[in-house]
Amino acid sequence: MTTARPDSGPVPPPGEGRGGLRVVRADEFAEPKPPLPARGSMDRLRAEHAALRERITAGDAKAVERQRGLGKHTARERLDMLLDAGSFTEIDQFRRHQASGRKLTDHRPHTDGVVAGSGTIEGRRVFVYAQDFTVFGGSLGQAHAAKIRKVMDLALATGAPLIGLNDSGGARIQEGVLALHGYGGIFRRQVAASGVIPQISVVLGPCAGGAAYSPALADFTFMVRDTAKMYLTGPDVVAAVSGERVSHEELGGADVHGGQSGVATVVHDDEESCLADVRYLVSLLPANNLDPAPRLPERGAAGDERPRLAELVPPEPSKPYDMRDVVAELVDDGDFFEVHEGWAANVICALARIDGDVVGVVGNQPMVLSGVLDRAASQKAARFVRFCDAFAIPLVTLVDVPGFLPGTEQEHAGVIRHGAQLLYAYCEASVPRIQVILRKAYGGAYIVMDSRSIGTDLSLAWPTNEIAVMGAQGAVDVLFRRDLAAAADPERLRRELVAEYTEQLMHPHYAAERGLVDDVIDPAHTRAAVAGGLAMLRDKRVQGPRRKHGNVPL
């Protein structure tokens, strides 16, 4: 633009040159720009808000890339896989920590490392939180914990299942005791919600220190191989204290907790199949302890014969078979959700449907340790029985058990105490209970596996049943020890005595004649008999004694 020099006289007004000539400005040739909304106007506020929400949802690009480099999805991607499309309502998206100190004051990302809210699974309401490893490594601080507690309170207040997706480095060290206090509040709410709403924990990354107690308190815990790790003290601490060198995977990987510790209920190879299985589990569970489990139309099971059952189970008591095949014949479409498949495999625990109704199935597994009960199997079955009882899910118990596993290791490890846990669980259960004795049912293990004496409502047995203190061979060796020692032909005498003992005390109708078995059924009629029994018991009501709570032999 032309301007007057300081010594050339008065400066003409804008738009005029000397002698009345107009001065042309260079910016008059530029394209006009749309004016910005005035600061404080609704349009400007809406635009700024939308931009902020978009940045929060997208996350830090480099951190997201690192997450994917670890073979993991982001928190929001996981929620998209878990929940029905478009159903998620997020709460506290703009929450930020209020802590101060090194590395905190100048770094206050929104969400504080956890995405929380509610959505639906197959149209049914759930509440969920997903820890975000791209923000503070998913570590838990005061604001982070407050968001989780808010979701838990809402789940309990509305009577809806709670699902936690865990991917966290543990307590946020910079926030000190406030982080520990945050964990405590979460654990207290989990205990308060136990038996009131189903709680599902999914471990998709690290879950260390105090954080590990949250999955341990849940009703069901899922883990993904290679990426999920869970332990109270990490490999470095273990090495410092004991000198033992161990990897993260060896210390707390998915297969360790799925096959040895029993902390993991289900183990998967990838996040997609894991979260799909969580959806399937939710479809089998009631929303809370006052609502029934979702029921499907009847399948005509009361008239359904399954002759294959008679072929699956050998009549000889010592020959193995897979109890899963029996379960598949009993339940609708052969479809069931097995828990703790890799841990204590000598007993099977599964959720399924019979004639449209959800049931819990417990069965001895002759393919593993001949189906004996030991301390791990007793504990596994006891927890499952108590879960089903808490949420009014009927129990079907399939019995083929030679007894408790003998040996000093079992006795010293507390097999009596653990066996008593299963006994307690069945005695306490007030849901409809049906026992089916397929073959052998010996000793204390027969009593513990929901026998008539501890309160089963309906006891059915196959013609192959053998109910006794012990097998005929063992009983003869104890009762006729001196006779056998003095006999000229001990083996012949033993065979004769075994046949006599079996005929007198272990024939198929012995227990039925004494009212300890309600019916001896054809194996092919088992599905129909169980379905009929469940229909008969559907309106069962039991008023328990007035007490604060019992004292489970933990």
Which positions are catalytic? 209-210, 444-445
Q: Report residue 131: phi and psi, to 5°.
A: -70, 140
Determine if residue 407 is left, alpha or beta; phi over 0 gives left, psi from -120 to 50 gives alpha, anything else beta.
left
- DSSP notation for 275-309: HHHHHHHHHHS-SSTTSPPP------GGG---THH
Which residues, listed in sequence order, are joined to residue 357 by a DSSP beta bridge? 354
| Residue 387: closest CA among 332, 417, 350, 442 | 350
The C-alpha atoms of residue 82 and residue 510 are separated, in whole angstroms, by: 52
The C-alpha atoms of residue 249 and residue 232 are separated, in whole angstroms, by: 14
Contact between 212 and 169 (Cβ < 8 Å): no
Sign of the Cα torsion 213, 390, 121, 95 reads negative
The C-alpha atoms of residue 254 and residue 265 are separated, in whole angstroms, by: 10
The pair of structure tokens assigned to 182 is 């945050």
Map residue 362 onto helix, strand or coil.
strand
Pairing of strands 266-268, 114-121: unpaired
- DSSP notation for 48-109: HHHHHHHHHHH--HHHHHHHHHTT---HHHHHHHHSPTT--EEE-TT------STTTTT---
